[in-house]
Structure 1
Amino acid sequence: MAKLLLNLRNVLEDEADDVRAMLDQARIPYYETPPSMWGISAGGIYVKDNEDVPEAKRLMAEYQAKRRDRVRAEHEAAVRDGTAETFRTVLRTEPLRVALTVLAIIVLLGLVALPAVLLRGG
């Protein structure tokens, strides 16, 4: 029976490509399911044979550790260089998005406080 190796929800395409290449290189048979039309399932990469699952999980753990270390190093380098994304850079490059996000937060806080205001005033 097939086992889910990687749920593709919020997975970057380069990461999914790396996992596919890793499985191909290890000659581990797998198949992929597409995301559902309604967004209920994001799709996934499944290992076909149960006897390949431990090896696939071991390879996946190694890959994730290497990717984590690489991404952390890239982020630290960007912070050192001053090229990392900060609130100030987002505000400068996308002021409308920031303003709409702040407005949405204020509206949501107002909706959360509304029952208390209505109960207090009644």
Structure 2
Amino acid sequence: MPHHLMNLRYVPDDEAEEIRQLFEQHGVPYYETPPSRWGISMGGFWVHDEDEAERARALLNDYQQQRQSAQRQRYQQDLLRGENRGIWQRIRQKPVTTLAAALAIVAILFLSLIPFIRI
């Protein structure tokens, strides 16, 4: 019976590639199903054997802990360098785009609510 190891929905390409390399380095016989184009099926990494599933999950747990600490460290470094911008910096950087998006949202809300407002 197949054992689902990891969902591939919203997984960055670099992370998926690192997991493939991890499984290949450790000789885990896995197979992969891609996520569907419309988000109906999740896709993921799978194995057939229960023992291999336990071993692969242990490898994935170690990998994910290492990746999490590396990503947090990278985020902290970006904050210290001022490269990680918040919402206000992004608005100040692209005010016209932000204003256009806000106006589009207001227009869509207005058009959607007109039937209810007229009641």
Q: TM-score normalized by structure 1?
A: 0.77
Query: Residue in 2 aligned with 1:39?
Result: 39
Give the distance between the partners of 1:22 and 1:102, measured in 2 at CA. 44
Query: Residue in 2 aligned with 1:8?
Result: 8
Give the distance between the partners of 2:74 and 2:38, measured in 1 at CA. 35
1:95 maps to amino acid: P
- Change in CA separation of 1:98 and 1:23 when aligned onto 2, cut-off 3 Å: same
Query: Residue in 2 aligned with 1:89?
Result: 89
1:81 maps to amino acid: R
Would you say how many aligned residue pairs link Structure 1 and Structure 2? 119
1:75 maps to amino acid: Y
- Change in CA separation of 1:5 and 1:95 when aligned onto 2, cut-off 3 Å: farther
- Change in CA separation of 1:96 and 1:9 when aligned onto 2, cut-off 3 Å: farther
% identical aligned pairs: 35
Give the distance between the partners of 1:41 and 1:104, measured in 2 at CA. 31
Mark the runs of 5 or more structure 2 residues left unpaired by the alignment: none
TM superposition shift of 1:98: 3.1
Query: Residue in 2 aligned with 1:27?
Result: 27
SS of the residue corresponding to residue 4 of structure 2 reads strand
SS of the residue corresponding to residue 91 of structure 2 reads helix
Q: TM-score normalized by structure 2?
A: 0.79
Deviation string 1:22-50 (CA, Å, 9 cap, x unpaired) is: 11111010001122243201311112221
Give the distance between the partners of 1:42 and 1:92, measured in 2 at CA. 37
